[in-house]
Amino acid sequence: MVATNQIAVREDGIKAMELAPLNPHTTSKQARECVDCHGNKKAVGFGSDGGIYDNNQAQAKYADAKNINGEPLSRHATPQIPAIPEMTGNFETLLDANGNQLMTVDSHWAQSSPLTAHQLDKLDRQGTCVACHAKMGNMPDGSMAMTVLGQVAKTFNLSFADAKAHEALLNENNLIVAWFKVIGMLSGAIGALLLLGYLIFRKRINALLKKALIKLTSKL
């Protein structure tokens, strides 16, 4: 018996079609960019364009002339790519939108598996742009600070639409915010130590301050 375009299914219901895992890092001096994985649906396991691209494998594909419904005009046409009835999604879709595994990941190595929910949460950064852009001046919940900065950029004809310029802007903003937080934490810690020292040695400190004030007023 010859089986054509049929997919075996494991006991747990996962398709036996197998994806070989790929080491996400390299051994060369030139490392991969962060965006190669973070925000990349294919790297996460959702397939090209989130599994949308070429995801209808259950339908045969014809290169012949077709009607408006996509059906071949000739009844003698033969499919260039036969249908795979059990195939859902494209050949790169490892996980569905809910993180459920759709096919096998390398049965040769015991630790090979799709990304866990925890790993997906750390890797996926889709939609994070809203955190900033929701507060832009032209948005209902826009902040005054963002509005002022937007007007300054418009006045001086500054554009951050270019990917590199946008990346540099975000990096600069993150560094400024990070330094403000570090300085704030250090100031708070130093202030707490000073307050604690005053509470412990307040009698001695008050006495020294009193002597200093007496000397200062005597000179005046």
Evaluate whether residue 137 is within a structural domain. no
Closest alpha carbon to 92 in 51, 59, 130, 60: 51
pLDDT, one tens digit per residue, over 134-170 is: 777 666 677 788 788 778 878 888 776 677 787 888 8
Q: Give which of 132, 119, 138, 141 is closest to 167, Cα–Cα.
A: 132
Q: Give the end of a domain, one of 74, 105, 126.
A: 126
Selection from 102, 94, 100, 116 nearest residue 41 by Cα: 94
Which of 24, 21, 23, 37 lies closest to 122 in space, CA to CA?
37
Distance of alpha carbon 8 from its chain centroid, rounded? 34
The answer for residues whose C-beta is within 8 angstroms of residue 125's C-beta and 6 or more apart is: 38, 39
Identify whether residues 78 and 23 lie together within a single domain. Answer: yes
Q: What is the pLDDT of residue 24?
A: 55
Tokens 């012949």 locate to 64
150 domain residue, yes or no: no
Residues 71 and 173 grouped into a single domain? no
Query: Which residues of the chain are modeled with pLDDT < 70?
Result: 1-3, 21-27, 137-140, 160-161, 220
153, part of any domain: no
Dist CA 110 CA 12 (whole Å): 16
Rounded Cα distance, 171 and 155, in Å? 23
- Would you say residue 133 lies in a domain? no
* pLDDT tens per residue across span 18-45: 777 665 555 677 777 777 777 788 888 8
Q: Looking at the domain assignment, is residue 146 inside a domain?
A: no
Residue 148 belongs to some domain of the structure: no
> Are 116 and 43 in the same domain?
yes
For residues 30 and 75, membership in a common domain is answered with: yes
The verdict on residue 106 lying in a domain is yes
One domain for residues 216 and 115: no
In this structure, are 109 and 202 located in the same domain? no
Angle value at C-alpha 16, between 14 and 20, nearest 5 degrees: 105
Task: List residues bridging with 72 in a β-sheet.
Answer: 66
**Residue numbers of the domain that contains 200:** 161-220
As for how many domains the chain has, the answer is 2
Interatomic CA distance for residues 45 and 115, integer angstroms: 8
Domain shared by 100 and 170, yes or no: no
Residues 1 and 86 in one domain: yes
Residues 10, 105 share a domain: yes
Locate tokens 């005054």: which residue? Answer: 144
Residue 59 lies in a domain: yes
- State whether 6 and 107 are in the same domain: yes
pLDDT at 161: 67
